[in-house]
């Protein structure tokens, strides 16, 4: 008889984070029926400081550090994150043992379509990336900050305006009908890791690494690790407008310099000798 394995799963307590973690738990249960999940819910500084723009409270990492600490301290075995929230550099003692299958990585508008936004309309978003890309295409738009969980953000659609969200967030919560417009990733380049879920564990925990290997999605791993390599080379979190997205074998990316100019690039990363080297070179090209 196979003995039951208790797996302590750390995650944020927001509805989106819990839904993502529950999906991963179901995948683990299907791959390894003897697993018994025990939840470890953690509130992060990003959850608590809901009235402060992300780039002012630390940018990337504000939604993951306390969750990671639960694993490092031994209170949990794995941490489930939105991959886009992870810093571009690894946390000592931890490794990404698995990536879930990537959902739709596109950004979307809620409230209306881009073409239907009136001249001077207000768009709510807390992302410097989203503001930069929208302002490039529609310099007439006005922007206001947007923070909070999904329900809070959906309640703050400006009159005759829109909010920007990730398609994956609305999908995991079963609310795709709220989407007014999908923004083409060819020009509205998604955030690194957007739409993917990353599962971390201690790098010396061989048993847990073996369990996670059962659900590791190789396509997601390839795409997100190429994107993360690009971001690490740029050396930026949420303070600088930057995006990177792997699809159909190509890495599409952009960076906005302090002079306000957006520089874009695209490079083949599938089937090449060293895709990570390609990502680093593209980062150098768009940050010049």
pLDDT the model gives residue 60: 61
Q: What gap in Å lies between CA 239 and CA 251, rounded to an integer?
A: 22
The string of pLDDT tens digits covering residues 225-241 is: 999 999 999 985 557 89
In a domain, 148, yes or no: yes
pLDDT the model gives residue 134: 98
pLDDT the model gives residue 46: 56
Q: What is the DSSP letter of 158?
A: P
Tokens 């939604």: give the residue: 63
Range 255-277 burial, b when 16+ CB lie within 10 A, else e: bbeeeeebebbebebeeeeebbe
In a domain, 272, yes or no: no
Domain around 111:
107-182
In a domain, 266, yes or no: no
Q: What gap in Å lies between CA 67 and CA 47, rounded to an integer?
A: 12
What is the secondary structure of 266-281 as a DSSP string? EEE-TTSS-HHHHHHH
Active site residue ranges? 85
CATH at 122: 3.40.190.10
Return the structure tokens found at 4: 């039951």
The total domain count for the chain is 1
pLDDT the model gives residue 57: 43
In a domain, 122, yes or no: yes
In a domain, 208, yes or no: no
In a domain, 3, yes or no: no
Q: Which residues are CB-neighbours of 82 under 8 A, at least 6 positions away?
A: 16, 17, 20, 63, 193, 194, 196, 197, 198
In a domain, 115, yes or no: yes
The string of pLDDT tens digits covering residues 86-126 is: 988 889 999 999 999 999 999 999 999 999 999 999 999 99
Q: Tens-of-pLDDT digits for all 288 residues of the chain?
A: 457 889 999 999 999 999 999 999 999 999 998 899 999 999 866 555 455 555 544 556 667 999 999 999 999 999 999 999 998 888 999 999 999 999 999 999 999 999 999 999 999 999 999 999 999 999 999 999 998 889 999 999 999 999 999 999 999 999 999 999 999 999 999 999 999 999 999 999 999 999 999 999 999 999 999 999 999 999 855 578 999 999 999 999 999 988 889 999 999 999 999 999 999 999 999 988
In a domain, 146, yes or no: yes
* CA separation, residue 114 to residues 97, 141, 163, 190 (Å): 38, 10, 11, 16
pLDDT the model gives residue 63: 77
Find out whether 171 and 107 touch, Cβ atoms under 8 Å.
no
Cβ neighbourhood burial of 92 (10 Å; 0-12, 13-18, 19+):
exposed
pLDDT the model gives residue 5: 87
Q: What gap in Å lies between CA 225 and CA 119, rounded to an integer?
A: 39
């Amino acid at each position: 008889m196979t003995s039951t394995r208790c797996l302590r799963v750390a995650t944020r307590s927001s509805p989106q984070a819990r839904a993502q973690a529950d999906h991963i738990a179901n995948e683990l249960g299907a791959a390894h029926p003897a697993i018994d999940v025990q939840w470890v819910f953690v509130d992060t500084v990003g959850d608590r400081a809901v009235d402060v723009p992300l780039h002012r409270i630390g940018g990337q990492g504000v939604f993951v550090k306390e969750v990671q600490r639960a694993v490092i301290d031994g209170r949990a075995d794995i941490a489930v994150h939105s991959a886009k929230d992870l810093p571009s550099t690894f946390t000592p003692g931890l490794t990404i043992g698995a990536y879930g299958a990537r959902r739709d990585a596109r950004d979307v508008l809620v409230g209306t379509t881009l073409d239907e936004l009136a001249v001077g309309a207000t768009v709510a978003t807390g992302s410097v990336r989203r503001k930069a890309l929208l302002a490039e295409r529609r310099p007439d738009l006005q922007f206001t900050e947007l923070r909070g969980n999904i329900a809070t953000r959906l309640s703050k659609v400006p009159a005759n305006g829109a909010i920007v969200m990730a398609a994956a967030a609305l999908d995991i919560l079963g609310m795709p009908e709220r989407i007014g417009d999908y923004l083409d990733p060819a020009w509205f380049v998604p955030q690194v890791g957007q739409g993917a879920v990353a599962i971390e564990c201690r790098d010396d925990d061989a048993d847990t690494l073996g369990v996670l290997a059962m659900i590791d999605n190789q396509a997601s791993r390839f795409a997100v690790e190429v994107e993360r390599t690009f971001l690490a080379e740029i050396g930026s979190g949420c303070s600088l407008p930057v995006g990177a997205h792997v699809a159909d074998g190509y890495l599409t990316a952009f960076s906005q310099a302090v002079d306000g100019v957006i520089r874009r690039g695209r490079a083949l990363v599938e089937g090449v000798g060293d895709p990570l080297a390609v990502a680093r070179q593209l980062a150098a090209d768009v940050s010049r």
